[in-house]
Structure 1
């Protein structure tokens, strides 16, 4: 038999006999009880313990139960149930509109009161559990580091990602180049119920109109198609507005039917995946120009996430730059450059057309120039890295060369790591080790 959870309650009532009566009732029902005789004592008690629910009288000397309700952060505090012998319907309605969980009249019916309190406690426990899970996922995914920033736009985006990750809804991510669209797509996957499944990223601009079925659906009694690699996970369609229109029709059929027919096959193969798409273009403009099918758009834009451009979140510039400074200072084993007033002026005056990706490159150039005892942010923004950022030591030169080669291979193979490793003539494990050692951000390369 499943053991019933033992809920906790804080009782607030100035009437000693009523307070004791409530404690006796709840103790007998298996609750952990705590009681105070003044609403003004609640804050101090909440600092010591966090009950599942608060039961408070309305009329008390000093702070009333209604005053207590007004003083509480409803979203962060335990649910509050008010109880009173002097209540009326307008008071009860107003209290619940202000955030009270329920309103009970005295004399109370014990069974009904216990039912109300149990439901309130269950809701409180569920909210705590959800909050802990979201915080744990936030830490495990590094979402606060991936989508680094303190502006309202980024805070809301992080919350949207956490909320949407729990669903299977198709998501369209819109944003300029360099804003982190694939990072968001991967976060939706990593935080979702299919996180253990595959994440298949397709650059739609590179999908062939001819031979699409062979590459994507596979051949009967031959190689399996690439779409099979997404089954059980997430299919990420990047640059959807650049997808050939005939290919859009074929993708639409796959998304709708959740199955593919291998070339030469006689029976379809079922697929199950979540669709996440991305574009840096105006989708309605693309529809108007007949470059994007309207029915295809309707299938992929159940929810739309708009990623803010860096020029619209200037309050995050110093935070982001400091983060990248630390990353590259560790990589090149050098000190973090100091920011001067001129550096800040240059940082804020630039429009950042390449967004966070551009800022990352500027940070790397500034760290490299600082290693040689020179450089400014203005120079890092305008300099030619081929000329200015030649490393001093052989180790730095080799690392820079490897970073460039690996980056080109990853981009040329659209993020397919096995193909990139083969092109470089090394094993997949060796490639992974080098990516970690060199501090490469695969997502930022694509």
Structure 2
């Protein structure tokens, strides 16, 4: 993807006339140039505004160009192109061996020099962009639930998300319940070219043919609809195999035509968005059973991203549970409980049908037990399956269910209350009232 910013070059040369000549050449190419007369001043410039490339003379009073090269970390900083009237083959070989991008002899050929600078700048920008993407990836709230790990499948997942994030390809995310499909979808969006654009998640199981046009397309002169809300962003279709067949046909038409016709409108409205979908089902079986249109599947599965179940990455269990124990220990303000041999055995022998989501909940129960002075991973696993936790009355059962469902929505949407309310199918005000009524602590949930 082309970077529209002009290339920036820092010229380092003690010869004023040559500095000016190089600046004029660089600016004539439509780029930006700045200059210093001594190599000792480069560090200060780098701290202020790092250029795309450093173009430095070799022989200068004080610090030479080779000394400057040796003082810089070219693996993370801008590439260095050295230029000298006194150059020879051994000097060029030494410069390249020490990390210089290229070596140019004076008198230089302007076109060749500009080509070298352009290539160096483009390489540096790609390197910096990949580094920023990686940093953003690990800073995403909650993304550690699916990306933390040293197993090959975890490493492959991180690589795939990074590779696919800045494409417009339709992506189908497959994975069992609890593997983090929506988190992966949000990562693909947040690491894309415009992370501030809308991310609209639709629970396809909740879409009904009767209300589809009004809710999705909007009503002329009243509401814009959820599909228009996703314009220039990402439309996430969750549980796509559960989408009613009539709705599938309407979604397919929108995806193909890239336009919607609001209810009561005379002309359609163009809309463009990236489509990411997710399912915990076998899509081929869903097609065979006529629950998923094959033509819709072909529009959704340009790329298939499969999230591994936790049982296939057991080597990550210790790392993951330690991370979650530390996380909840900070929330509940206690020391994280240490893992015993019995704890490790319980982790390794459990099948983890709820995947990373289940592991996270087990870690929270273990920390809560530690607050009371006891507990183990095995007991935390058992408590999840014990039937005595079911409330005695229907009212208590409903409250417990609402508490669990709302807590899950708040965690899934990283505290974004509008998104949590939308996922729950209720208004923001209603959600706030229920949080107060049920005694939920939003901060403790995150």
TM above 0.5, yes or no, is yes
Q: 2:95, 2:103 within 8 Å by CA — same for their partners in 1?
A: no
Structure 1 residue runs of 5 or longer lacking an equivalent are 10-23, 84-105, 391-399, 441-446
Which residue in the other structure is 2:8 paired with?
A: 5
Q: Assess, with a 3 A threshold, how the Cα gap between structure 1 residues 387 and 370 changes in structure 2: closer, same or farther.
A: farther
Matches within 5 A, 1:356-367: 356-367=356-367
TM-fit CA distance, 1:254: 0.9
Which residue in the other structure is 1:32 paired with?
A: 56
TM-fit CA distance, 1:244: 1.7
Matches within 5 A, 1:10-89: 29=22, 31-34=55-58, 47=73, 52-53=79-80, 65=93, 79=101, 81=102
TM-fit CA distance, 1:169: 2.1
Matches within 5 A, 1:366-385: 366-384=366-384
TM-fit CA distance, 1:381: 1.7
State the distance in 2 between where 1:131 and 1:273 align. 24
TM-fit CA distance, 1:321: 0.8
Matches within 5 A, 1:30-429: 31-34=55-58, 47=73, 52-53=79-80, 65=93, 79=101, 81=102, 110-111=109-110, 113-138=112-137, 140-142=139-141, 145-146=144-145, 147-384=147-384, 403-404=403-404, 406-407=406-407, 415-416=422-423, 419=426, 421-424=428-431, 426=433
Q: Assess, with a 3 A threshold, how the Cα gap between structure 1 residues 360 and 119 changes in structure 2: closer, same or farther.
A: same
Which residue in the other structure is 2:445 paired with?
A: 439
TM-score scaled by structure 1?
Answer: 0.70
TM-fit CA distance, 1:276: 0.9
State the distance in 1 between where 2:6 and 2:205 align. 57
Which residue in the other structure is 2:49 paired with?
A: none
State the distance in 1 between where 2:378 and 2:284 align. 37
Q: Assess, with a 3 A threshold, how the Cα gap between structure 1 residues 228 and 26 changes in structure 2: closer, same or farther.
A: closer
Q: 2:362, 2:377 within 8 Å by CA — same for their partners in 1?
A: yes
Q: 1:143, 1:158 within 8 Å by CA — same for their partners in 2?
A: no
State the distance in 1 between where 2:244 and 2:120 align. 55
Provide, for residues 251-289 of structure 1, a one-character-per-residue CA deviation record: whole Å limited to 9, x for no partner. Answer: 000111122223343222332322110011222222222
Q: 1:7, 1:52 within 8 Å by CA — same for their partners in 2?
A: no
Provide, for residues 53-89 of structure 1, a one-character-per-residue CA deviation record: whole Å limited to 9, x for no partner. Answer: 467999759xx95x998x89xxxx664x489xxxxxx
Number of residues of Structure 1 aligned to a counterpart in Structure 2? 387
TM-fit CA distance, 1:120: 3.6
Q: 2:143, 2:184 within 8 Å by CA — same for their partners in 1?
A: no
Q: 2:143, 2:187 within 8 Å by CA — same for their partners in 1?
A: no
Structure 2 residue runs of 5 or longer lacking an equivalent are 24-54, 60-65, 391-399, 413-419
State the distance in 1 between where 2:189 and 2:224 align. 23
RMSD over aligned Cα atoms? 4.4
TM-fit CA distance, 1:110: 4.0
State the distance in 2 between where 1:212 and 1:144 align. 31
State the distance in 1 between where 2:120 and 2:282 align. 47
Q: Assess, with a 3 A threshold, how the Cα gap between structure 1 residues 328 and 295 changes in structure 2: closer, same or farther.
A: same
Provide, for residues 5-28 of structure 1, a one-character-per-residue CA deviation record: whole Å limited to 9, x for no partner. Answer: 33579xxxxxxxxxxxxxx99997
State the distance in 2 between where 1:144 and 1:131 align. 18
